Structure 1
Amino acid sequence: MLPIRPYFRGVIARTVLPTSLMLLAACGPESLEDLTGELQGALANGVGSTAARAALAKRWAPIHYQDVDVTGSHSLSGRSDYISRVDFDGDWVGTNNWDNAASRALTAHAYHSVVETNSHWYIVYTFFHPRDWADSIFDTEHENDGEGVLLIVARDGSEFGKLVGSVTVAHKDFFSFVPDGSPLSSGTESTDGKLSYANFEGVDHPITAQEAKGHGLKAWPAYDIVGDGVKYYPSLTTAEEPSSASDSDVRYKLIDIYGPEGLWVRRNLASLFASYGTFAGDTSGDCGYIKSLCSTNSANAPWGWNDQNDGPIEGGEIATDPAKLSAYYFSPSSTFATAYTFNPFKGVGADPNTP
């Protein structure tokens, strides 16, 4: 059971919400039972609206375990392992994030993207850290770090569908997990384990976990908290900074990756991206105990994620063509419709409100 906590304990993100989400916030706690008919109707008609994507993303958003290491000067006493937003320092410059992590608040956020076919919804959650760091002079470090998870939700006729599988990003490798009762099994790639759940606000959410330092992500308990660690829980309105390296109840705010606060609209911004899908990062500050071990331009947005040995799966397709990736990773492949009804990465059904 979650500890009793003040609802506004942390930092409240100041954003202009869609009307339906304002109604949701006004109703009190963010339980699914509080969703308005307008919001439910929008989701029933697909994910073309910001509100519908927010509802779906909140429903399946992971309870996220972040392992934290407090040793070494580059850990910032554990803060280097806190998740945040890319512009946590107030700008859209990728090459000062390592430096600014020491002096700015690291309020918790995660980006979500939703792609739709007639058979499935595909939701990618991206967790960002300003540093990929080490506490050894022999290990490589780099500025910025973006890793995440693809959740595969079957459109079974229910309001929010059924979660049937996941693929996680851990450095240069992808790993697949399925929950109990899933109709999916190993495809061309073997499944790597079980996707577990925990109850939050009356419904079950998948549990994901990230390593300290390098922040590889897998389904819990393939990775777990070892010693210090933060437990993050999803919100549509609230972004909190952990009170300590062992805070077990922190809210992270979901950001639509296609929206005005998102990353997709900034994909060609030279100050943020060194190339398509690759964050700009340099060797300024104290990155790299030995400067040659601080690498540049080494972190990726979802459309740049790539498994190093996945055969026909090309870079970024975990986000941009998840039906193709799912049919490769899981069996039966015929389960997955291949035509997209909503996929802004491919220019299909883009939200007219997206800049």
Structure 2
Amino acid sequence: MGEMVDNKQIVLKHFISRGCPKESDMVTQVSKMSLKVPHGSHGVVVKNLYLSCDPYMRSRMTDTETGFYEPFTPGQPITGYGVAKVLDSGNPKFKKDDLVWGFTGWEEYSLITNTAGLFKIEHTDVPLSYYTGLLGMPGMTAYAGFYEVAAPKKGEYVFVSAASGAVGQLVGQFAKLIGCYVVGSAGSKEKVDLLKNKFGFDEAFNYKEEEDLAAALKRYFPNGIDIYFENVGGKMLDAVLVNMRPNGRIPVCGMISQYNLEKPEGVHNLTFVVMKKLRLEGFLVFDYYHLYPKFLELVLPFIKEGKINYLEDTAEGLESAPAALIGLFSGRNVGKQVVVVARE
């Protein structure tokens, strides 16, 4: 059986069909757990160190199948990306004391039976929390969406919405590194200043202060947009379509403005997809994880040479996770939202 411990967990009380989730939709509970892998299991028992708050998790709070993530199970711990330390292993790929990132539970300790989504952390000369963001799923999302889907060229005009978030801040920096002109949008003066002064965007604007988004984009892109990295959807997508250049590309990463609406907004300017020969392509990061070694080869030197900056918004303690997650939908976080469960 092995050592038994009290395991604090964050569980979803019930499905949330509409509207923004509330902290009260999640509850803290404690259960007993063994720190040994069950006999015959190829899983691992881990101690969770850092948890990632990501917008896609909202879609898992409904009982509707999305096609790529299973819904959470009410009464069971929420699951998501995190960084953890292996305490016991029945899998030859992982051994005791290995550090890993991938899918884990919102709890102090997790038994992970499906290790297909776990990555062993080989480079520990960077902050471990980076593996929830810059060197984890959001980083791979930025890399795949920009380099693989958008196929950028030097000198192109790039627009990034939700640009100060976990993915957007990286897309903008990748674009600058290959010689593109980059503009980002965000929801506060503080975030706009970060985009220009910390992340090196050429320009940035607060979308909440713009009465006419199409006119704002025309102001920043008088010659049009070649690549729009889509994180928002709705009115922003509508405004972008009018301002795209012929043969432009729109990698669709997410649509956070739509996740909590009872009725999603329509997009009215889709005729420009035809008229301007645009390519609008949704993508899922899972399909690109085979490129993770290539991604590390690109990004690790940039980090060590100071060519990429990364900002985290850290919440301390497992109990802070519900508020941290909900804060994503009002833009409360500044940078990648991380929850510290325990420090290595």
Taking structure 1 as the reference length, the TM-score comes to 0.29
Tell which structure's C-alpha radius of gyration is larger.
Answer: 2
Q: 1 or 2, which has the higher helix percentage?
A: 2
Relative contact order (alpha carbons < 8 A, sep ≥ 6): 1 or 2 greater? 1
Taking structure 2 as the reference length, the TM-score comes to 0.30
